Structure 1
């Protein structure tokens, strides 16, 4: 226990140092964390923490998803609901299919590992995107489009992963019929949404019965983790549960006044939003430091330089094949997406925590599991470092932000 606390304190000290240096050098914070993590792994210092599926899913993901969700407003989301849902649902399916086909037919991977990689790498990371936009002062419709699509995309990717994993594990043992797939989909999606909604409803009822801002904030903390863990306990989507809970809490529980009446107090709202900003900072710091620490120990040579380059190129192309064609569907509609916004949606589709968590959760018996894991880490590092570093340049080049 003492070693665990010491390791966490050490990582927080490093995170503070990185935040100060990154702000001074005007570098993306997440990039600095990954680089610092690599440096820690190569130094005599041993942080003592390891990036595992449980660490990401049970400790890091809930606060990151919840913090992102509570800051999305219904009114703004409804205005662009159709393009956001199209990009998040259809786009994720297309991206996963494109990567699967490329890896199976061009790289020669067996279908099962190709499908697993295609699905998990389709998950974009709202955390990295939100942090990047905050650093560069991006607001308005572009921020809503990118953040909302990225957040909902995570839920879709997590559900697809569960379905594909069930199919892979059932192969050779029993035929997974259409009815079973539909049932699994209903449980995973419907169960996740219902769990999040019920938990949020109970939390809002509790908040309305107190004026203590500490109690109000504690309730939201229990909601974020409780909805996730409860959904996962019953084989539902914890990602969808927490996102649903966050959206409802942000728009009903933390709203000053809604048609349902008063909810949280003014002091409670201010304190709760500040608390979640802090918790997201801590979780964000841990995950990207641990990514750097883990990446330094990954044997990328086992995959091959050409194969790794192929991975990155295919993932970028698959993202382009979803963003640009789907955006064209709304060209002559009220939801038209400007071309420069499309460029940001493409290059800003960073990969991160969820993709790694899904890769780390793959069963050890899965064919080519190590190659899938190595490819995932390679794409994530390229995404965070290269795309993260060049994103401010793209934003300025497109005239979206000014030199800061």
Structure 2
């Protein structure tokens, strides 16, 4: 399917969906299962090490908030991946429903083809933009530990003061950990770093693939409303061209069917997406708060500040893209009533006027996707989310100062 081809490839790359090539042989299915098991096996010790670090460094607000970001992020995005895997049937039905809706567009013409191509292009641009923003985090967070491990002076200091420097080593990793062993010696430290790096890359791939595919769904729904509006605006010209008394009713019935199919698809998407977004938006607020806190603490330390800045940018990007495209969807759905009201309904028969009234009445209620029941996807909701984050940040900063 061309409309979601890039997004489906990302889901296959991350291991959430099985690539078609995997289904062709037994050993490929075995390797794919091994890959999925390995991703979980690697995640567990990293998460345990982060939890132990919270216990070991209890009272150090800087360490705890740092670990909250990595723990909440890893749990959230691993959870997103498991959610899609558990609802794979409903998700694949969404993919096939979108494909069918694109094939069944009435009155297919050059203008509608252009809108479809622009929608696909917009979806891919958003996907690539989010991909670049998200992968800044594993890259920026992984550089500093590598540099510290490659510096010979750092190793000498570790040998000189083993107890203190071991704790400093735990603090210098991608995410702060504590394990009941001395991991400052090779090859243990390389193994620990590699496990953390794998988890970060997997987390980034889950974050990217899950978020971009659902943002793309929203973009395509907005594109369907653009096509619907274009069809309505062309209705009068088309009817006058063919001068067929039966053509008007058939044309408008097709418009109504298309409108209903888009509404039904949006409802089906919301049923799948809403629980996922509720959990994601709640955890995103926590991560934004602690990243803003870390940025304030590391102001002037260029390397650490940039690391936390990219972390904040990454966490903000997902909710912003959802709310932005959700806002576009609301606007496009409301334009339907304007398009219907703008046609020459006053020159038509009573049957056509009744159908017009029904469409306008339904179109007055905008299509809103939601995160649970708390957050309708709109820029207003995103602004409220940022206000909440600032409030939590102010409380956290006050606790640190006290």
TM-score tier by shorter-chain length is under 0.3
| Bigger Rg, structure 1 or 2 | 2
Greater RCO between the two (CA within 8 Å, min separation 6)?
Answer: 1
- What TM-score do the two structures reach when normalised by structure 2? 0.23
The structure with the greater share of residues assigned to helix is: 2
